[in-house]
Amino acid sequence: MRALPEKYLRPLKLLAFVVCLGPAFVLTWKGFHNLLGANPIDVITRSTGRWTLTFLLITLSITPLRRITRLAWLIRFRRMLGLFAFFYGSLHLMTYVWLDKFFDVHDMLHDIAKRRFITAGMTAWVLMLPLALTSTAGWIRRLGGKRWQKLHRLIYFSAAAGVVHFIWLVKADLRRPLTYGAVLVVLLAFRIFLWIKARLSSRPTAVRQAIHT
């Protein structure tokens, strides 16, 4: 059956939670064992950045996966995955604020205004913030499903800003950031495809005929 019995959901969610914490755990473990190499702060920054983008893309792949596999219960994992994107994004931001800038607000504001890759990265994080805050059932109720859904489409822009952030910061060799970009394009293209399909099928026959004449 496509449906997942409720009794499996909790342990599966717990398992997913532990797996999602894996990268943070590995980083911490390596940090305590001096295994982060010559420039640990650089490793932490890059790793948390890559995991943020990865979790954003995984979150965005839930809807296409659900449509293709018809496994409706996949949606039950989406909030957790999205919140993990926010978690790694916040760790990434903290490495910048703390380990790179040492809380120098003036310097950071200067950076955000002047350096376009920082601007893009900040945008990506700020766009995630309202999504994380309104991720609770209470907020879905308060906003109403439709409006909540509209608001949460911000994730498309957050992910796009994240990819642009990555593209703009590399010195040469765009292959890695463009791989993330390609996956994002596929995931967004799927939504455009769904949207066009829905519009075409919802159009009354009369209108469709009118167009064709």
Q: Where on the chain is the footprint of another protein (CB under 8 A)?
A: 33, 35, 37-39, 41-42, 100, 102, 107, 111, 114-117, 168-169, 171-175
Provide the token pair at 209. 């005929």
Using the minimum distance from each CB to another protein, give the nearer residue, 56 or 118: 118
Q: Answer for the pair 165, 124: CB distance below 8 angstroms, yes or no.
A: yes
Distances (CA, A) of 164 to 22, 112, 122, 148: 26, 15, 11, 26
Nearer to another protein, 50 or 191 (CB): 50
Our CB check for another protein shows the closer of 174 and 194 to be 174
Residue 39: phi, psi to the nearest 5? -125, 75
Length of the chain: 213
Min dist CB 188 to another protein, Å, is: 24
Contact 3, 72 (CB under 8 A): yes
CB of 129 to another protein, least distance (A): 24
Nearer to another protein, 47 or 61 (CB): 47
Q: Quick one: 34 or 201, whose CB is closer to another protein?
A: 34
The CB-of-178 to another protein minimum distance in angstroms stands at 10
Half-sphere CA count of 104, side-chain side, radius 13 A = 10
Residue in the block written with tokens 């209108």: 207
In whole angstroms, how close is the CB of 39 to another protein at the nearest point?
6
Distance of closest approach, residue 89 Cβ to another protein, in angstroms: 20
Q: Write the DSSP symbol of residue 83.
A: H
In the bound state with another protein, the residue whose beta carbon lies nearer, of 16 and 36, is 36
What is the closest distance, in whole angstroms, from the C-beta atom of residue 85 to another protein in the complex? 24
The position carrying tokens 């954003």 is 56
What is d(CA 102, CA 115) in angstroms, rounded to the nearest whole number? Answer: 18
Structure tokens, 138: 């209470």
With beta carbons less than 8 A apart as the criterion, state whether 139 and 133 touch. Answer: yes
